[in-house]
Amino acid sequence: MYKIAVIPGDGTGPEQIREGLKVLEAVSEKFKINFETVTYDLGGERYLRSGEALPDSVIDELKGFNAMYLGAIGHPEVKPGILEKGILLKLRFELDQYINLRPVKLYPGVETPIKEKGPEDIDFIVVRENTEGLYAGAGGFLKKGTSDEVAIQESINTRKGVDRCLRYAFDYCEKRKYKKTVTLCGKTNVLTYAFDLWERAFYEIAQEYPNIKTEYAHVDAICMWMIKNPEWFDVIVTDNMFGDIITDLGAMVQGGMGIAAGGNINPEGVSMFEPIGGSAPKYAGKNIINPLAAINALSMMLETLGEYRAAKEIEQSVVQVCVNNLKSLSAGAMGHTTSEVGDLVIKYLQDL
């Protein structure tokens, strides 16, 4: 019996999660998977109502689940930073979800903005460090609000944090059985402390994986190569900030936020799966948001739980919907409503 914590969140989050849960229901029936869900009301609405973002008691409860399923966090009436830090980053940090795993895979039937590249060229995965770097919150102000103001934001990179992230990337690459290549994405020519550590750790750990090739690319160059030669990549490993940036680029390469999913993973604890797009409040409540990203996140959740067939069949069904049914992946332009897309995934799932 899997216990799954569901956080529908803000904006279009709940509509996306609703479709994901429909698919979970269908796949569980097909593969005789037992699960129960507990829904947590976290997000901008609750914050505005009660002043509470994420109580510590909730964090403790969440530790007792097998996985978490998150819609989106973000509210137009809440000042930027409060919900991001107070909910999303707090969850990642407190639950030590030290990997942010983001596949960049172009499905058949999906249009990429890159001319002359197809599904055979675009299939890689980014392993983003998820608890350190610039996100750690180190730094501060001096003389704030004056003309002498100083703002410092420091990137924290611990040997332990870097090592465990790199090891995860190499292990993942081994399991993925694709190009057997891990590319470190950094900026060793300028960030000569942080990425010096990353680079040394990278080549040291690589010795433990003699059959995996290593590559290195600066973050700016990788933005270029992701567009020019996406077929070069298999597993890209990088720090928190660079990972955040290149995975938005990756999402566009694979067809947009309508399809891009990710997992915040603690291999020894509870992991959280989410569509990587935001709460998109302007589309909320209209039944027009694309739920495929959330459904892909569900597939990643099942894979992480070890339900490989269920995960695979969800992905295959999503591909069928892309090939046969959707006019576009964008909200409002799919040619189907949010709930119809969920129904279509279930139909293919049952036919497989």
> Rounded CA gap, 135 and 289, in Å?
29
The listed partner (ligand IPM, Mn ion, none) that binds 45, CB under 5 to 8 Å by sort, is none
> Quick one: tokens of 341?
């897309």
| Contact stretch for Mn ion (CB under 5 A) within 82-90, 172-180, 236-244, 316-324 | 236-244
Least distance to ligand IPM, CB of residue 349, Å: 27
Amino acid letter, residue 124: F
> Rounded CA gap, 214 and 203, in Å?
8
Instruction: Determine if 244 is a binding residue for ligand IPM (CB under 6 A).
Output: yes
The listed partner (ligand IPM, Mn ion, none) that binds 88, CB under 5 to 8 Å by sort, is ligand IPM
| 302-321 footprint of Mn ion as x/- string (CB under 5 A) | --------------------
Q: Looking at 3, 30, 84, 266, which residue binds ligand IPM (CB under 6 A)?
A: 84
Backbone φ and ψ of 112, nearest 5° = -105, 145
- Residue 294, CB-side half-sphere exposure with 13 Å CA sphere: 31
The listed partner (Mn ion, ligand IPM, none) that binds 236, CB under 5 to 8 Å by sort, is none
The answer to whether 204 and 166 have CB atoms below 8 angstroms apart is no
Residue 127 β-bridge partners: 101, 237
Least distance to ligand IPM, CB of residue 278, Å: 7
Q: Looking at 10, 244, 307, 313, which residue binds Mn ion (CB under 5 A)?
A: 244
Backbone φ and ψ of 67, nearest 5° = -165, 165
The answer to whether 298 and 317 have CB atoms below 8 angstroms apart is no
How does strand 123-129 pair with strand 133-142? Answer: unpaired
- The residue number whose beta carbon is nearest to ligand IPM equals 84
Least distance to ligand IPM, CB of residue 135, Å: 7
- Residue 96, CB-side half-sphere exposure with 13 Å CA sphere: 10
Instruction: Determine if 88 is a binding residue for ligand IPM (CB under 6 A).
Output: yes
> Given 3-state DSSP classes, what are the helix, strand and coil percentages for the chain, each rounded to the nearest 5?
45, 20, 35
Closest alpha carbon to 127 in 175, 90, 82: 175
Distances in Å between the Cα of 339 and the Cα atoms of 15, 46, 290, 312, 344 are 8, 25, 9, 21, 9
Q: Which of residues 19 and 244 has its CB atom nearest to Mn ion in the complex? A: 244
The listed partner (Mn ion, ligand IPM, none) that binds 162, CB under 5 to 8 Å by sort, is none
Q: Give residue 224's region: left, alpha or beta (phi > 0; psi -120 to 50).
A: alpha
| Contact stretch for ligand IPM (CB under 6 A) within 40-48, 81-89, 113-121, 297-305 | 81-89
Least distance to ligand IPM, CB of residue 177, Å: 27
> Quick one: tokens of 18?
């609703």
**Subset of residues 144 to 203 that bind ligand IPM, contact rule: CB under 6 A:** none
Q: Which of residues 4 and 276 has its CB atom nearest to Mn ion in the complex? A: 276
| 263-292 footprint of ligand IPM as x/- string (CB under 6 A) | -------------x----------------
- The residue number whose beta carbon is nearest to Mn ion equals 244
Least distance to Mn ion, CB of residue 244, Å: 4
Residue 6 β-bridge partners: 39, 69
> Rounded CA gap, 278 and 280, in Å?
6
Instruction: Determine if 274 is a binding residue for Mn ion (CB under 5 A).
Output: no
Q: Which of residues 70 and 310 has its CB atom nearest to ligand IPM in the complex? A: 70
Q: Which of residues 94 and 215 has its CB atom nearest to ligand IPM in the complex? A: 94
List of residues contacting ligand IPM (CB under 6 A): 84, 88-89, 244, 276
